[in-house]
Structures are given as structure tokens and as C-alpha cells.
Amino acid sequence: MTKIMPEWTNSSSRPIKVSLLLFDQFSNLCLANCIEPLRAANMQGTGQVFDWSIFSPDGSACQSSSGLDVLAQAALPALQSTDYLFVMASYGHSRHDTPQIRRLIREMARRAKVVVGLDAGPWLLAAAGLLDGRRATVHWDLLDSFTERFLAVDVEQARLVRDGPVVTCAGAMSALDLTLDLISDHLGMAARLEVEALFMHGDPPVDQSKSSKLSDPLVQRALQLMRDSVEKPLSLTQLAQILSCQSRTLDRRFRARLGAPPGKVYRHLRLAAARKLIEDSPISIAEIAVRCGYDSPSALTRAIRQHYGATPRALRRG
């Protein structure tokens, strides 16, 4: 079998449509981990790459498990077609498991290219018959009862399971994994790293599940070293020495996981850090150049213009 290499950069010719179906008592954190990375990805590009809409079964507002009301933009039957249908349920999922909801989910799933069950959402997908004969997961608190109830489903204790056009997630943090994967699928690994930096910059490397595209521990450690040394960049030889590996090993693993060599990824991380400072702080370009390892403001300006197609001043205004 030929291994598919990841794309470092990618683009979409049209907005990717994401439809989120909420049920009462859904998880706020799960919803945020889906929407916020997509918003951040849109900000990194030149247009609205991801276009999301919120639905409820009947179009009424849904109340989260923490008591916050979220207004639906429409009732689910109004959905015409979508790239992704996210089914999001949490506490009280069993009371949503009705014949009417099952029929509605089956019908709407035919209008989606990919169906995603989040938290307790896989329970509703399974009840609708969409997981029969497929591998799937669910929130781990429900794993035993889910396994007993849905005998036609191949249940796995995993954060994230993909089986054809159906994806199931175990909870809020796996929703973040899924959304980051979605960003890399449509925009490339460079965009994913920029979004990750907004949410996890300065944190220790995350113990990713085996389903993650960044599950390689060596690549994770190298990325953290790169982020920690933006101001005084290390040479690739120094990186390899610190990581106790050969430079060619580091290069091979980066290309396999990220679709780009370490040097290109390192420059991207430095420029992403510079862009964040330009857009979110009043710090001078000269100071930002120092903080991001550039010899002069002019060197940073040239690099920013080449990478983002805009000057630092234009980015700051925008």
C-alpha cells in the first residue's frame, strides 16, 4: 500500500460547509473545540475557508450542560447539503433517542459527505443505524452500555475513530484533535501548526493518540524545541544533537509527518510567532524581529511579505 504523504500547504476552491446539530445538555467545551479552531484557521488565510452553521432538531435554542443557551440558525430539516454534519449530544442523550430523531438523523446524513458523532453523539448515530458494521467510539463513560446496546458496532476505546465517511469522537479534547485534522486536510499542516500555536503555545508536548497526524514523539519534541527557541533559533544540527538523533532522521520524520523539511517548518513557526505579535501587540517591528530571531526589521519585513503576501504594517492594520 502506498503511504499518503501529508500536504504542507493546501487550499480550497470553495468554503467548507460544517453543520453542527446540537441537542440540549450538549458540552460547551466540545462545541468550542470545534468552532474556535475553525475561526482561527479562517483568520490565517485570505477568506472564509470554513463556513459553519448551528442547527437544532426543531430550530429552537439549545441549552448546554452548564446552562448557557445557544441559538440555532435553523431547524435541521432545512439543511440542504453539507460537507460535515457534526452530531453533538452529551448529558441526557437517551431522552433524545426517539424514532423521530433517528429518522431525522438518517435523512440528514444522506445530505452530508462526512458525519461526525461527538461525545454522546455516536449513541444517536448508532441508534439511527449509521454505525452498523463500522468501527466507532463514544464518550468512555458510556462505553460499556454502548457496547451492550449496539451489537452491530465494532466499539473501540479510542479518542477518535474514522471509518469511511463516519467519524466518532470520545469527548471534548478529541473534538479538538478532529478539528485540527480537518484543518490540515483542507489547508495543510502549516495552517494546523499556526492554529495549534494559538491554543497551545508554551505548553509541554501533548500526548496525542495514535490517530493523530502528529503522533510521532520525535517530531513533537522537535516542534516544542523550535517554539521555545524562536528568539535564538537553533541550527538543524543542534536540534538533532539535543534530540539525540541524526539530522537525516529528523528530516525524514518531518517530511513523513508534516510534508515539509525541518528548516521550512522552523521558519514557518518563527513567522507565525511574528505575525501574532504584529497583529496582537503594539510592539515595534524592530523588537519583533529580535524576538523572532531576525537580524533586522527589513529582514523580517521581507520574510513576512514573501510568506503572507503582505507587509507587517498591512497585517497590523488588518
Angle at CA 268, nearest 5°, toward 263 and 271?
A: 125
CA 140 to chain centre: 21
pLDDT of residue 78: 96
Torsion, Cα 43 46 49 54, to 10 degrees, reads 50
Could you report the per-residue pLDDT of 133-146, keeping only the tens digit for each?
999 999 988 999 99
> Backbone phi, then psi, for 250, in 5-degree steps?
-60, -45
Could you report the per-residue pLDDT of 48-80, keeping only the tens digit for each?
899 999 999 999 999 999 999 999 999 999 999
Could you report the per-residue pLDDT of 278-289, keeping only the tens digit for each?
988 889 999 999
Q: Is the pLDDT of residue 1 over 50?
A: no
Question: 2: pLDDT confidence band, cut at 50, 70 and 90?
Answer: very low
Going by C-alpha positions, the residue among 107, 133, 188, 122 that lies closest to residue 157 is 122
pLDDT of residue 37: 94
pLDDT of residue 136: 98
Could you report the per-residue pLDDT of 245-276, keeping only the tens digit for each?
999 999 999 999 999 999 999 999 999 899 98
Q: What's the CATH number for 216-318?
A: 1.10.10.60
pLDDT of residue 214: 61
For the chain, the structural domain boundaries read 16-180, 216-318
Q: What's the CATH number for 16-180?
A: 3.40.50.880
